[in-house]
Amino acid sequence: MGKIGFIGLGVMGKPMSRNLIKAGYSLVVHNRSQAAVQELVAEGAATASSPAAVAEQCDRIFTMLPNSPQVREVLLGEKGVIKTARPGTVVIDTSSIAPVAVREIAGELARKQVAMLDAPVSGGQAGAVAGTLSIMVGGDEAVFDACKPLLDTVGSSVVRIGGIGAGNVAKLVNQTIVAINVAAIAEALTLAAKAGVDQTAVFKAIRGGSAASRMLEIKGPFMLARKHEPGFRLGLHIKDLGNVLETGHEVGAPLPLSAAVMEMMQILKADNYADCDNSVLIKYYEKLADGAATE
């Protein structure tokens, strides 16, 4: 296999790139901020001045970007991958974006005989660093099979869901469940405090029963300690829920719980908590309860 491209070296993209370098792949990276680029260059990566310059050198290109407009610009823009990509190139977009956008972008790339996999990830920064991400993939099965060894380098669970766009549908389902679960934990721990019972004792009591969940294990300690360093930023979860609601409206799926959590998050964003971990949802409930659950 030739050189691998990676565009977008943020909280997730940089450690994913690092794991590809550690696995022995020849990596070409591009990012707006040069600090992350220079870190990876010091570890053996080459650099390119634009997405188009990445595509000139690479036939497998990862992208990890904030949302649909950025993915569209990097892949289809004036200096985008589409300008120089050779037929047979595969774009593996690990961003979390709207499924309808994925299908539109993939259609444009297909005109140049460039294939696309939408492969959003779950597992946060810790999973990106450890190479244990859960990766939900949409796209052609043969293309998926050819690229799976690459995906196995950055994730421990790599599952093809279906055709293009299916990966991001799965990610939206994931983010819906996570959002509602985190809100439920915040609501329940606030109930314990309001009733005069120690939250930590309640947490220990319920974690082995029917209320046990991965989110309880991960977010419960954040809430109990009132420490909300990300983690998974509230602002990013707002972006994902925006895509959840947009997709739900498009396909006619009712999402009343997702809408309610979105409004809670918007209130916290207005209170300048967007850069905090999404466990900061407990502050919404504390505010409603007049601070009854404060430390």
Domain boundaries, the chain: 3-164, 169-288
Q: How confident is the model at residue 290 (pLDDT cuts 50, 70, 90)?
A: confident
Residues shown for the chain: 295
pTM: 0.91
CATH code of the domain made up of 3-164: 3.40.50.720
Most distant CA pair in the chain, distance: 65
27-30 and 3-7 strand pairing: parallel
Q: How confident is the model at residue 145 (pLDDT cuts 50, 70, 90)?
A: very high
* Same fold: 3-164 with 169-288: no
**Which of the residues 14, 83, 112, 171 is marked catalytic?**
171
CATH code of the domain made up of 169-288: 1.10.1040.10
Mean predicted confidence (pLDDT) in 191-214: 96
Mean predicted confidence (pLDDT) in 187-216: 96
Per-residue pLDDT tens for 100-137? 999 999 999 999 999 999 999 999 888 999 999 999 99
pLDDT at 19: 97
pLDDT at 171 over 90: yes
Beta-carbon contacts of residue 177 (< 8 Å; ≥ 6 apart): none
Per-residue pLDDT tens for 242-260? 999 999 999 999 999 999 9
Q: What's the CA gap between 79 and 85, in Å, rounded?
A: 11
Query: Residue 138 forms beta bridges with which residues?
Result: 118, 162
pLDDT at 1: 62
What is the Cα gyration radius of the chain? 20
The verdict on whether 171 is a catalytic residue reads yes
What's the CA dihedral at 28, 34, 35, 39 to 10 degrees? 20
Q: What's the CA gap between 134 and 144, in Å, rounded?
A: 15
Burial class (CB in 10 A: 0-12, 13-18, 19+), 194: middle
Residue type for 134, please?
A: S
Per-residue pLDDT tens for 73-101? 999 999 999 999 999 999 999 999 999 99
Q: How confident is the model at residue 230 (pLDDT cuts 50, 70, 90)?
A: confident
